[in-house]
Amino acid sequence: MLLYDPTASVFTFDGTRMDLAEEFRDNPRGPFSADLQRILDRMRTTPLKGRYVLLVIEPFRVWQLARLSGERGEAPIPVDSVRYTSAAIAEWDIFKRRWKDLTGVTVTVADPVL
């Protein structure tokens, strides 16, 4: 049987490519350059255990950052008290967190003006 392999997502990228972070900030729904698309594909296939998700606190208004437990029937684990009042800001913040997690490099480009 064909099962999920959490180690199958193997793409690595240069964490200093701030031009690509900037590209995502400015155009978060694409279309993306090939280099950025690969980074997003990598980010979106991180292992289920620990994957960032958003808990809807108030529909369409407030979201809480959390990580999936990776275990069936176990609740996602909230990340501190990180809350967002915009899904777009949440998407950008999670992009930055994943960039740091995957490359060790902090995204230094300015946040979007929304």
Partner 1 sequence: MICGDMDPNGPGQSYEPAEWHEPVELEVRHQRIDAGSYAIVDPAPKWPENSAFNLTINFFPTRPGNSEQTLVAWGDLRLQIKDGLLRLCVGEICAICEDIILPRCWYQATVSIDAASKVMGLTAAMLNPTGGVRTEQSAQERLSNWCVPRPQTALLFAAEPETVENGRLFTRNTFNGKLEAPVLSDGPDGELIAAWDFSSGIPTDRITDRGPRELHGTLVNLPMRGATGSNWNGSVASWRQHPGQYGAIHFHDDDMVDCCWNTSLEIQPPENARSGYYIARLTANGVQSDVAFFVSAKAGEPRARLLFLAPTATYLSYANTHIKFDSHNTENLFEAVTQLSEDELYLNLHRELGLSHYDTHSDDSGVVYSSSRRPMLNTRPGLYTFNYLNDTHIIKWLESRNTSYDVATDEDLHRHGTELLQAYDVVMTGSHPEYYSTEMWDALNDYQNEGGRHIYLGGNGFYWRIAYSDTYPGVIENRRGVSGVRTWEGEPGEHHLAFSGEPGGLWRTHGRAPQALVGNGFSSTLFVKSTWFRRSEASFDPRYAFMFRGINTNVIGDFGFRGGGCVGLEIDRWDKDLGSPPNSVVLATSEQVGQGGLLTGEEFITTTRALDGVQNGRVRADMVYFTTAGGGAVWSTGSIAWATSLLWNGGDNNVAKVTGNVLDRFLDPQPLD
- Interface residues with partner 1 (CB under 8 A) are 1-4, 6, 29-32, 37, 40-41, 44-45, 48, 51-56, 59-60, 63, 66, 68, 72-76, 87, 90-91, 94
Shortest Å distance, C-beta 20 to partner 1:
15
Shortest Å distance, C-beta 22 to partner 1:
19
N-terminal to C-terminal alpha carbon distance within the chain? 46
Question: Which of residues 16 and 43 has its CB atom nearest to partner 1 in the complex?
Answer: 43
Question: Which of residues 20 and 94 has its CB atom nearest to partner 1 in the complex?
Answer: 94
Question: Which of residues 60 and 113 has its CB atom nearest to partner 1 in the complex?
Answer: 60
Question: Which of residues 19 and 30 has its CB atom nearest to partner 1 in the complex?
Answer: 30
Shortest Å distance, C-beta 85 to partner 1:
14
Residue 45 in tokens: 């296939």
Residue 111 in tokens: 């946040």
DSSP string across 71-101? STT-PPEEEEEEEES-HHHHHHHHHHHHHHH
- What whole-number distance in Å separates Cα of residue 67 and Cα of residue 46? 11
- What whole-number distance in Å separates Cα of residue 76 and Cα of residue 11? 26
